[in-house]
Structure 1
Amino acid sequence: MRVHKGYKFRIYPNKEQEILISKTIGCSRFVFNHFLAQWNDVYKETGKGLTYHSCSAKLTQLKKELFWLKEVDSIAIQSSLKSLADSYSRFFKKQNKVPRFKSKKHKVQSYTTKHTNGNIAIVGNRIKLPKLGLVRFAKSRDVQGRIFNATIRRNPSGNYFVSILAEVEVQPLEKTESSIGIDLGITDFAILSDGRKFDNHNFTSNMEMKLKREQRKLSRRALHAKKNGMNLLDGKNYQKQKIKVARLHERLMNQREDFLHKLSTEIIKNHDIICIEDLSIKGMLRNHKLAKSISDVSWSAFVTKLEYKAKWYGKTIVKISRWFPSSQVCSGCGHQDGKKSLEIRDWTCPVCHEHHDRDVNASKNILVEGLRTLALT
Structure 2
Amino acid sequence: MLLGFKTELKLNNQQRSLLAQHAGTARHAWNWGLSLTKQILDHNKTNPDNKIKFPTAIDLHKWLVALVKSKHDWYYQVSKCAPQWALRALANAWARCFKKIAKPPRFKKKGKHDSFTLDGSIKCEHQKIKVPVIGWLKTYERLPSGYKPKSVTISQKANRWFLSFKVEVEPKSTNKIVDVVGCDLGVKSLVTLSTNVVFEGAKSYRKYEKKLSRLQYLARHKVKESNNWKKAQRQIRSLHFKIANIRKNTLHKLTTYLAKNHGKIVIEDLNVSGMMANYKLAKAVQDMGFYEFRRQLDYKTQLYGSELIIADRWFPSSKKCSNCGHIKETLSLSERTFKCELCSFECGRDLNASFNLASLAMSSIVSACGLVSADTARMKQEVNIKPTNR
Q: TM-score, normalised by structure 1?
A: 0.88
2:171–2:302 CA contact under 8 A, matched in 1: no
Residue in structure 2 matched with residue 320 of structure 1 by the alignment: 311
Residue in structure 1 matched with residue 32 of structure 2 by the alignment: 34
**In structure 2, how many angstroms separate the alpha carbons of the residues matched to 1:313 and 1:148?**
26
141-150 vs 238-247, which deviates more? 141-150
Unaligned runs of 5+ in 1: 226-231
- 2:21 pairs with 1:23: yes
- 2:360 pairs with 1:355: no
2:124–2:148 CA contact under 8 A, matched in 1: no
Q: Percent identity?
A: 31
- 2:172 pairs with 1:166: no
Residue in structure 2 matched with residue 110 of structure 1 by the alignment: 115
TM-superposed CA distance for 1:59, in Å, is 2.7
Residue in structure 2 matched with residue 133 of structure 1 by the alignment: 135
**In structure 2, how many angstroms separate the alpha carbons of the residues matched to 1:320 and 1:184?**
12
| Partner secondary structure for residue 150 of structure 2 | strand
TM-superposed CA distance for 1:142, in Å, is 3.1
TM-superposed CA distance for 1:177, in Å, is 6.1
CA 1:317 to 1:139, structure 2 compared with 1: closer, same or farther past 3 Å?
A: same
Residue in structure 2 matched with residue 4 of structure 1 by the alignment: 2
Residue in structure 2 matched with residue 93 of structure 1 by the alignment: 99
CA 1:338 to 1:81, structure 2 compared with 1: closer, same or farther past 3 Å?
A: closer
CA 1:216 to 1:179, structure 2 compared with 1: closer, same or farther past 3 Å?
A: same
Q: Deviations over 1:102-150 (max 9, x none)?
A: 2225x21111112x23x2x333432222222122221155356441321
Residue in structure 2 matched with residue 267 of structure 1 by the alignment: 258
TM-superposed CA distance for 1:84, in Å, is 1.1
2:180–2:361 CA contact under 8 A, matched in 1: no
1:276–1:370 CA contact under 8 A, matched in 2: no
Q: After TM superposition, list the pairs within 5 Å mapping 1:269-288 onto structure 2.
A: 269-288=260-279
Q: After TM superposition, list the pairs within 5 Å mapping 1:235-250 onto structure 2.
A: 235-250=226-241
| Partner secondary structure for residue 168 of structure 2 | strand
**In structure 2, how many angstroms separate the alpha carbons of the residues matched to 1:217 and 1:268?**
44
Give the letter aligned to residue 147 of structure 1.
P
**In structure 2, how many angstroms separate the alpha carbons of the residues matched to 1:212 and 1:140?**
37
TM-superposed CA distance for 1:300, in Å, is 0.5
1:109–1:154 CA contact under 8 A, matched in 2: yes
**In structure 2, how many angstroms separate the alpha carbons of the residues matched to 1:241 and 1:213?**
11
TM-superposed CA distance for 1:199, in Å, is 0.8
| Partner secondary structure for residue 93 of structure 2 | helix
Give the letter aligned to residue 285 of structure 1.
M
Q: After TM superposition, list the pairs within 5 Å mapping 1:1-377 onto structure 2.
A: 3-45=1-43, 46=51, 48-61=53-66, 62-105=68-111, 107-114=112-119, 116-117=120-121, 119=122, 121-139=123-141, 142=144, 145-155=147-157, 157-174=158-175, 178-220=179-221, 222=222, 225=223, 232-233=224-225, 235-371=226-362
Give the letter aligned to residue 82 of structure 2.
A
CA 1:299 to 1:144, structure 2 compared with 1: closer, same or farther past 3 Å?
A: farther
CA 1:280 to 1:371, structure 2 compared with 1: closer, same or farther past 3 Å?
A: farther
Give the letter aligned to residue 24 of structure 2.
G
46-55 vs 69-78, which deviates more? 46-55
Give the letter aligned to residue 110 of structure 1.
S
Q: Deviations over 1:147-182 (max 9, x none)?
A: 132111111x21111112223333343455611100
CA 1:169 to 1:64, structure 2 compared with 1: closer, same or farther past 3 Å?
A: farther
1:144–1:166 CA contact under 8 A, matched in 2: no
| Paired residue total | 356
Give the letter aligned to residue 137 of structure 1.
T
**In structure 2, how many angstroms separate the alpha carbons of the residues matched to 1:246 and 1:44?**
36
Q: TM-score, normalised by structure 2?
A: 0.86
**In structure 2, how many angstroms separate the alpha carbons of the residues matched to 1:298 and 1:324?**
21
| Partner secondary structure for residue 342 of structure 2 | coil
| Partner secondary structure for residue 353 of structure 1 | coil
2:170–2:303 CA contact under 8 A, matched in 1: no
Q: Deviations over 1:268-314 (max 9, x none)?
A: 00111111111110011100110010000000100010011112333
Give the letter aligned to residue 57 of structure 2.
Y
TM-superposed CA distance for 1:337, in Å, is 4.1
**In structure 2, how many angstroms separate the alpha carbons of the residues matched to 1:144 and 1:278?**
39
| Partner secondary structure for residue 122 of structure 1 | strand
Residue in structure 2 matched with residue 228 of structure 1 by the alignment: none
2:194–2:358 CA contact under 8 A, matched in 1: yes
2:22–2:78 CA contact under 8 A, matched in 1: yes
TM-superposed CA distance for 1:54, in Å, is 1.8
1:148–1:167 CA contact under 8 A, matched in 2: no
> CA RMSD of the aligned region, Å?
2.0
349-358 vs 186-195, which deviates more? 349-358
18-27 vs 165-174, which deviates more? 165-174
